[in-house]
Amino acid sequence: MTITDSPVLTPGIWAIEPAHSEVGFTVRHLGLSKVRGRFNRFEGEVVIADDLTNARVTARIDLSSVDTNNADRDAHLRTGDFFDAETRPEMVFVSTSATEDSLRGDLTIGAVTKPVTLDVEFHGVATDGYETTRAGFSATGTISRSDWGIDFNAPLGVDGMLVSGKVALELEIQLVPTGE
């Protein structure tokens, strides 16, 4: 398989390709170490316009697909202490504005919607050996989980809490055109 560079992100509808993408997060445990997690099921669409500032992003993340490489912790994260995945099964991000290096939008978890800003890095466009055009992006940001009513904690550890209130978001996204 060979990869050829194509310098242009063409206008149109692009879909997140889950097999080559990751929606991850990091939190501090006891103020000592980072615990990393990811969501294994997600989907999204990016509408690229002629003018980048008119780009639109919509993504849906299945909260029950949380995976921190620890089944007991994952089960706890699915409960009402954290995501309450049975009652509010997904989180949704809808962009409100875009620039070359940032994406702003509304993140909804349950009945709570709050603004989020992500720093974005565009990695380019390539065509793989199967003639599929792909575009790559990284995005990072930080949110406070209490903004969405996710307040579970216990007083322990170096920083005074079991789990950090801040959550670092880490996304690696590969897009493919939908043909629409």
Higher pLDDT, 160 or 44: 44
Q: What residues contact 45, with CB distance under 8 A and at least 6 apart?
A: 13, 14, 15, 16, 57, 58, 59, 178
* pLDDT (0 to 100) of residue 79: 86
More confident residue, 126 or 29: 126
Q: Which domain holds residue 56?
A: 4-177
pLDDT tier at 2, thresholds 50, 70, 90: very low
* Residue 132: band (very low, low, confident or very high) from pLDDT cuts 50, 70, 90: confident
Residue 151 token pair: 């307040």
Query: Nearest-CA neighbor of 1 among 131, 138, 160?
Result: 131
CATH number at residue 46: 2.40.128.110
What does the pLDDT read at residue 1? 38
Predicted local distance difference test score (pLDDT) of residue 68: 94
For 48-52, 139-143, 170-174, which range has the lowest pLDDT when averaged over its residues? 48-52
- pLDDT (tens digit per residue) in 64-75: 999 999 999 899
Half-sphere exposure at residue 114, Cβ-oriented, CA atoms within 13 angstroms = 13
- 16 has pLDDT over 70: yes
Number of domains composing the chain: 1
Question: Distance between CA atoms of 38 and 33, rounded to whole angstroms?
Answer: 17
Give residue 6's pLDDT.
47
**What was the pLDDT predicted at 163?**
64
pLDDT in tens, 21-76: 999 998 887 767 888 999 999 999 999 988 878 899 999 999 999 999 999 989 98
